[in-house]
Chain A
Amino acid sequence: MKYILIVVLFIISLSVGAYFYLKFDKRKKFFSALIMLAEKLSVEINFSRERLKVLIENFDASSRKNLLNVDEGYLAYLNKSAELDSKEIFKNAQVLKQEEKDFILLFLKTLGRSDVENQTKEIQNFLKRFQEMKEVCDGEFKKYGSLSLKLSVVAGLFFAIILI
């Protein structure tokens, strides 16, 4: 019975650590994917002038997975089947902070509203801010991501030692 309890406690503490690790990882991957998308939009709007819907649909599938369905919410708005509001767009992106959500929403709201030159400038301005956000996320991941995983292992071992 004691050993079962030790295993359960060890798994719980590892899960807590893994949760935080994955949270920081998701944030990091989200901003990487967002930057890739913004860069693609900037280039394609200048080059092909293709419509947003097509550009987003053709965005690299593996990167799209990391966008936490923000792209899907935005496509629904482009198809006029959903509103462009924070609740709708970020329903699967709880890992993002409110200020980040507000900024990304502002980015989405400015897309498609101006001519090529102004649109490109706007995207470049947003890209700078996204880069800063990504750097913060990278720092958080390095600092807290692996730390939370290590701490969870230590906590698990700690419980095991106490119970033994």
Chain B
Amino acid sequence: MLSKILPEKIFKILDEKVNLKAVNELRFRADKPIVVCVSGKNYFLTENGVSSNLTNALFASKIAIEDIIFRASECSIYSVNEQIKRGFIVTDGGIRIGIGGNVVEENGQIKTMTNFSSCNMRFPHNVKNCSLCAYPFIVHDDKIENTLVISPPNAGKTTFLKDFVSQLSERKLSYNVLLLDERGELDNNIDSNFFDKIAFSTKKVGFENGIRSLSPDLIVTDEIGQEEDIDAIIYAITSGISVLATTHADSMETFLKKPLFQRVIKDKVFKRYVLLSKRNGPGTFEGVYNENFARVSKMS
């Protein structure tokens, strides 16, 4: 898929001179050097691979960025306009491409984005067993605790969720899992026979429709970001459905100060909090906490 999206020259360098499996992000900014994030560290892309030195760095042109976005949409921008309106495209291989450019608004509604000037490709990674450190604290006696995974951006939240769903299936725990996938990147490479997916919907709509029509035991969703999401989670939990969700915060202290989560914290909506960081690279397991924020697991 990547070969179909990237300019031939860039793909060749990445394929031959960079370990693609270790690449987390690839950033293109018009008339700026191309930046590659390898194992959590940023480098410039050069003819010979990656370098921390700006000399010999390859620069991205605006035309190249527009072409990447055009190719990522399978040459059909209109078919992904709903995603573009939200600032990203997700390709078939689960690569999420964040887009920078001009937002076109009409009557207060975003109509589309044009004049693309930057893009950020995030590559999905499967890290087998990465959720096992937390798994025993979340699943016990055939019960899944309502859990919130907390981490800074790009520190392995989505990878954790995907592995957790696979682990449930691997242990033959036939929970009906509903993936509520706002950005269409969650189900890529999930090894499970027991999950349904609702993609590209808001959490409110997804939770309501999913609970009504798919009767899940567990709802897995990424990035809680607004009050409406919290309402949807509380609605699910009070309907007897377990929830595994994620949010951004770089530490437990930061999380505890976030106004959005004060109600959740006070009402003890989540029984488990999993903290991830980038301390030793993306996906570093920092611990599992209970509803009183007492650590229930050891640090990795």
Tell me the A residues contacting B by CB distance below 8 Å. 45, 49-53, 78-80, 111-117, 119
Interface SS majority for chain A: loop
Q: Are B75 and A52 in contact (CB under 8 A)?
A: yes
Q: Are B81 and A115 in contact (CB under 8 A)?
A: yes
Q: A112-B70, A115-B111 are in contact. Are A80 and B78 (CB under 8 A)?
A: no
B 133-170 binary contact with A (CB < 8 Å = 1; else 0): 00000000000000000000000000000000000000
Q: Are B4 and A115 in contact (CB under 8 A)?
A: no
* Bound Cα distance A49, B79 (Å): 5
Residues of chain B at interface, number, CB under 8 A: 16
**A residues less than 8 Å from B118 (CB atoms):** none
Q: Are B70 and A113 in contact (CB under 8 A)?
A: yes
Q: Are B111 and A112 in contact (CB under 8 A)?
A: no
Q: Are A116 and B78 in contact (CB under 8 A)?
A: yes
**A residues less than 8 Å from B78 (CB atoms):** 45, 49, 112, 114-116, 119
CB distance from A115 to the nearest CB of B (A): 4
Q: Are A116 and B81 in contact (CB under 8 A)?
A: yes
**A residues less than 8 Å from B75 (CB atoms):** 51-53, 78, 111-112
Interface residues of B in 62-79 (CB under 8 A from A): 70-71, 73-79
Option from A45, A51, A115 in Cβ contact (under 8 Å) with B112: A115
* Bound Cα distance A80, B6 (Å): 11
* Bound Cα distance A45, B76 (Å): 9
Q: List 7 A-B contacts (CB under 8 A).
A: A49-B79, A50-B79, A52-B76, A53-B74, A78-B74, A80-B3, A117-B111
CB closest residue in chain A, given B84:
A115
Interface SS majority for chain B: helix
Among the interface residues B74, B75, B78, B84, which one has the most CB atoms of the partner chain A within 10 A?
Answer: B78
* Bound Cα distance A111, B111 (Å): 19
CB distance from A85 to the nearest CB of B (A): 15
**B residues less than 8 Å from A45 (CB atoms):** 78
Option from A79, A112, A116, A117 in Cβ contact (under 8 Å) with B73: A112
CB distance from B118 to the nearest CB of A (A): 18
Q: Are B74 and A51 in contact (CB under 8 A)?
A: yes
Closest 4 CB pairs of A and B: A51-B76, A115-B112, A112-B75, A115-B81
CB distance from B195 to the nearest CB of A (A): 26
* Bound Cα distance A115, B110 (Å): 12
Q: Are B112 and A112 in contact (CB under 8 A)?
A: no
Known: A53-B75, A79-B4, A114-B77. 14 other contacts (CB 8 A): A49-B79, A51-B75, A52-B75, A53-B74, A78-B74, A80-B4, A111-B75, A112-B70, A112-B75, A112-B76, A113-B70, A113-B77, A114-B112, A119-B77
* Bound Cα distance A78, B71 (Å): 8
Among the interface residues A51, A113, A114, A115, which one has the most CB atoms of the partner chain B within 10 A?
Answer: A115
**B residues less than 8 Å from A114 (CB atoms):** 77-78, 112, 114
CB distance from A141 to the nearest CB of B (A): 34
**A residues less than 8 Å from B70 (CB atoms):** 112-113
Option from A49, A80, A117 in Cβ contact (under 8 Å) with B71: A80
